[in-house]
Amino acid sequence: MNDTGTRPNTVPWPPLVYLVAVILSVVLEVFLPVPWIHGLLGDILFAAGWLVILGAIAMYVSAIHVMRRAQTTIMPTQAADHLVMDGAFAITRNPIYLAMALLMIGIGLVSGIVWFLLFAVLAAFVTQKLAVEREEKHLEARFGKRYRDYAKRVRRWI
């Protein structure tokens, strides 16, 4: 049984979900490659991919920094000690998970592997169902009205 007031999850779903998504993307590219866009548009997508990757890394690092500064856990299987609402968390309630999805999208754009784009979206959906919704219940149980007010101001993803 999962006590949402004590800990949101018993399994660290997000890193596992994204790891599986990356593996599936690579395996499918090997056995079922999908053609990619070439020429000027392909070059633009390649450059955009690097911007997305850099943005994802910046978001991830910022979120980790803010959580450490607030002295709360970054582990999705441990109870939150403090409600973090600044830094990247002022833009999205799930900057680490969003960064993971954006990193996959960026890799897809840079590598030309369409599967990364598809599985980034699927991984985000699965992460929401397995982790985000449980974490939101946990945060509401721990922080009550403060969390509900924060959730009204800041979007879940983007």
pLDDT in tens, 39-76: 999 999 999 999 999 999 999 999 999 999 999 988 88
pLDDT digits (tens, 9 = 90+) for 11-20: 888 999 999 9
CA-atom Rg of the chain in angstroms: 17
Residue 142 maps to a domain: yes
**Residue 20, in any domain of the structure:** yes
pLDDT for 4 beyond 90: no
pLDDT reading at 81 higher than 80 = yes
Does residue 8 lie within any of the structural domains?
A: no
103 located within any domain: yes
At residue 7, does pLDDT exceed 90? no
Classify residue 110: in a domain, yes or no: yes
> What pTM was computed for the model?
0.91
144: left (phi over 0), alpha (psi -120 to 50) or beta: left
Q: What is the pLDDT of residue 104?
A: 98
pLDDT band at 2 (very low <50, low <70, confident <90, very high): very low
Is residue 27 scored above 80 in pLDDT?
Answer: yes
Residue 2: inside a domain, yes or no? no
Residue 1: is its pLDDT beyond 60? no
In a domain, 7, yes or no: no
Residues 153 and 135: their CA atoms lie apart, in Å, by 17
Domain residue limits at 23: 13-29+37-153
Number of domains in the chain: 1
| CB-based contact 119:104 (threshold 8 Å) | yes
C-alpha 83/C-alpha 55 separation (Å) is 24
The letter for the amino acid at 37 is: I
